[in-house]
Homo-oligomer: A and B are copies of this chain.
Amino acid sequence: MKNINLCIAGLGNVGSALVDLIEKNTELVNFKADLNINILGLSAKNKNKKRIFDVSKYKWFQNPLDLLSVDGLAPDILVELIGYEKDISYELVKSAIKNKINVVTGNKAMLAKYGQELFKIAEENKVLLLFEAAVAGGIPVIKTLKNIIFSNKIKKISGILNGTTNYILTTMELENKSFGDVLNDAKQKGFTSDHESELDIGGYDAAHKLTLLTSLAYSAQIDFNLNQIEGIYNITIEDINFVKKLGYKIKLISECSLIENKIYASTKPKLIPINSPMANANGALNAINIETDHLESLYLEGEGAGGPPTASSVFSDILEISSKSLTKSLGFSYSKLIKFEKFNSSNLESKYFLRVRVKDQPGVLSKITSYFNDNNISIEKILQIPDNDSKSMPIVITTHKIKSSELLSSVKKIADLEFILDKISLIPIEY
């Protein structure tokens, strides 16, 4: 039986579920892998918080840095689940790998910002810094990219990488509620906090995760600034209802590809055809679609957050380290990371969905269509929808493919027309 000594820093949902997993599935892991997982020590902010396991069975350290040497013994693996972007998370991980201790983390914010440095230090010290839990919870997308479709040329990765925003969009649709109402519900139920929801709703959490996928897919230097980010703040229940009539759903889509040898990494709301699997990944689910030179589509869907699924991903990294694979943390050496430029997405062509509220007066529809026509924007569909409000009505337009820069400059001008009321909703369409 091989012994693996573990220390765990951070005992929120995921950390606690990990201890629970190790306790409950000891026999299975012993039996199948001849592996004995021994928890040397734990650390978290508050020892006395109610948890799903009995803290008193383990050695407790108030300072997580003390986990690097428990009674003089360094753990084989330090598990970092504190989750700060920098501060103690960064300090702890850096100290661990400098002391030749393998690290498993679920910390996407830290890796998206400091991964470039941390993976270098890990490799120089011949230890692994693994992060399956950092992207899409229980979905094994990191190992799929680095250990499985390694030999493929990745055309595109796209996905729903943030459960909270997906839950909000789904709930708005199902319960016909406004963005604000659903968000408040979610906060009251404890699903998200003010700080978290800012990262979630602003698209930053998804962009952190996309940063890591982009590096794995294109061996791109880990650079959060490559991301183009738009949150879901502006999505209204009207948008959700209209796009449904057109056969779409609105999802916060993170996608990356290499265009003209530059990185296109975008997180923004998109219209997804209603019959595609990703349109039906509802609630807190995450989903990822990978297109390569050898796979038309590989689609993975599952729980993107939560204790048990994410703990399962943490454990898969523990297993990877235990099996002493020669695989590098990223599947390849940090020294292979390429410095790419950011692709200017205003050159990107897409179909678009527009919703405008106009004065209910004769000839408005033809004014808009001729305006679009004059500005070389080709309309695919136009819907004029009667409303309870007698003075104004919404008009919904879908365009054919157009460069976003061209569309945006026209839309700016439309916004100034006298019969246009309110802000114009503008969402690209996945086709």
Chain A positions near chain B (C-beta within 8 angstroms): 17, 21, 24-25, 28-29, 31-34, 132, 138-140, 143-144, 147-153, 219, 275, 277, 280-281, 292-303, 308-309, 311-313, 315-316, 319-320, 323-327, 331-333, 336
What's the least CB distance linking A294 to chain B, in Å? 4
Contact A150 B308 (CB under 8 A): no
Instruction: Given contacts A25-B153, A140-B149, A298-B300, list 12 more A-B pairs with CB under 8 A.
Output: A17-B294, A25-B151, A25-B152, A139-B298, A149-B312, A151-B315, A292-B312, A294-B309, A294-B312, A295-B302, A297-B302, A323-B327
Contact B301 A277 (CB under 8 A): yes
Contact B319 A147 (CB under 8 A): yes
Closest to A292 in B: B312
Contact A28 B316 (CB under 8 A): no
Contact A298 B147 (CB under 8 A): no
What's the least CB distance linking A206 to chain B, in Å? 20
What's the least CB distance linking A63 to chain B, in Å? 29
Q: How far is the CA of A147 from the CA of B280 in the complex (A)?
A: 28
Residues of B within 8 A of A325 (CB): 323-327
Residues of B within 8 A of A34 (CB): 333
Residues of B within 8 A of A143 (CB): 143, 147-148
Copies in the complex: 2
- From A151, A292, A293, name the one whose CB has the most chain B CB atoms within 10 angstroms: A151
Q: A147-B320, A315-B151 are contacts. A309–B327 as well, Cβ < 8 Å? A: no
Closest to A307 in B: B294
Closest to A319 in B: B150
Q: Would you give 25 A-B contacts (Cβ < 8 Å), ordered by A? A: A17-B294, A29-B150, A31-B336, A32-B150, A32-B331, A32-B332, A33-B331, A33-B332, A138-B298, A143-B147, A143-B148, A147-B319, A149-B312, A151-B312, A152-B312, A292-B312, A293-B308, A294-B312, A295-B309, A297-B303, A298-B302, A298-B303, A299-B299, A300-B301, A324-B326
Residues of B within 8 A of A331 (CB): 32-33
Residues of B within 8 A of A311 (CB): 294
Residues of B within 8 A of A295 (CB): 138, 302-303, 308-309, 312
Q: How far is the CA of A237 from the CA of B34 in the complex (A)?
A: 51
Q: How far is the CA of A151 from the CA of B323 in the complex (A)?
A: 14
Contact A32 B336 (CB under 8 A): yes
Q: How far is the CA of A37 from the CA of B303 in the complex (A)?
A: 37
Residues of B within 8 A of A315 (CB): 150-151
Contact B303 A296 (CB under 8 A): yes
Q: How far is the CA of A138 from the CA of B313 in the complex (A)?
A: 21
Q: How far is the CA of A138 from the CA of B144 in the complex (A)?
A: 11
Residues of B within 8 A of A326 (CB): 323-325
Contact A316 B150 (CB under 8 A): yes
Q: How far is the CA of A34 from the CA of B149 in the complex (A)?
A: 16
Residues of B within 8 A of A21 (CB): 151, 294
From B219, B300, B309, B316, A147 is in contact (CB under 8 Å) with B316
Q: A147-B143, A315-B151, A332-B32 are contacts. A308–B294 as well, Cβ < 8 Å? A: yes
